[in-house]
Amino acid sequence: MIEGIARLRETDPRQLGPFRLFGILGHGDAGGVYLAKGAPGRGGRKRAAAVRAVRPELLRDRQLRARLRRRTARIAEAVDSPFVADAFGCELDSEHPWTAEAFVPGVPLSALVAAYGPLPEMSVRALGGGLARALAALDAAGTAHGRLRGSDVLLTATGPCLVDHGLALDSSGSGASAGRAGDVFALGTVLALAASARHPFAGSPLPARPQTCPGCPTRCGCRCWRACTRPPSPARIRNPWPAPWTSPEPRHVRHGSGFRTRISMRSADSRTRQGR
């Protein structure tokens, strides 16, 4: 189900850090996500934001909080990509912890394929190119997404955008290389989801022998499968989707008039709730 922006409830906060909240974007394992507006930095201009109210019980580990702060700061300072939502900062030691990033008026990939079925092959190719560039931008900054899933990929009118980066609350601190290798594996599963509308490993263990992902178009299924099953080399981590898939600019990932209408409605709804 593709949800809209819901009204704030009486129990919802009205302000988190410098951000004033206007509506509910969704709920996840880590906490609720709100449409907000505020200035990310002192003296900066106000921008639309997606602010997550993180459940305090998930942040009891001091080392975990420190890792999340470092990762968020690194992304905010060093990542500049149209395929990665801007990081606005976080406050993890307060009574009401939060993280914030730029609001992206898109539809989650997982919700899109659940509602409309698999994406066309060319759309999967464009999606792969955009996500590969997103992961390469994070890698260049010395970090990784850490928990890439279909719900963390928003499809917009201009292409895919990666959100919820740096929020791997179950991270063990095993190192950036391990995180990036995990991102490459997750890239394959996300693309298989896009091509087949189902998770490639749902209800079954990882097969021992390479094969194409069930439901994937033949020409892209083998690429999805290699990303899932082969240990990534440093070169593949740097550029996880080889040319020619990343050489052209990714095109608008379209999936019927219903998808385009949903994006337009989400953008208009966000402006209305912010009073613009």
Could you tell me the pTM of the whole model? 0.79
- CATH superfamily for 107-260 is Transferase(Phosphotransferase) domain 1 (1.10.510.10)
Measuring CA to CA, which residue among 267, 241, 263 is closest to residue 253?
A: 263
Calculate the alpha carbon distances from 268 to 27, 203, 264, 276 in Å: 21, 39, 6, 9
Q: Which two tokens stand for residue 128?
A: 């792969």
Q: Is the peptide bond before 244 cis (omega within 30 degrees of 0)?
A: yes
Among left, alpha and beta (phi > 0; psi -120 to 50; other), residue 114 is: alpha
Say how far apart CA 59 and CA 74 lie, in whole Å: 19
* H or E segment to which residue 96 belongs: none
Are 240 and 75 within 8 A, CB to CB?
no
Q: CATH topology for 15-104+262-273?
A: Phosphorylase Kinase; domain 1 (3.30.200)
Q: Which two tokens stand for residue 50?
A: 């997606």
Residue span(s) of the chain under CATH 3.30.200.20 come to 15-104+262-273
Residue span(s) of the chain under CATH 1.10.510.10 come to 107-260
The C-alpha angle 76, 80, 85, rounded to 5 degrees, equals 70
- For each of the chain's 276 residues, which pLDDT tens digit applies? 566 789 999 999 999 999 999 999 988 788 899 999 998 877 678 999 999 999 989 898 999 899 899 989 999 999 999 999 999 999 999 999 999 999 998 889 999 899 888 988 888 888 998 999 999 999 999 888 888 999 999 998 888 999 988 676 665 555 556 677 888 889 999 999 999 988 887 665 444 444 555 555 555 555 554 555 554 544 454 544 444 333 333 344 445 556 666 667 777 777 777 765
Are 253 and 155 within 8 A, CB to CB?
yes
Q: Which two tokens stand for residue 108?
A: 């989650």
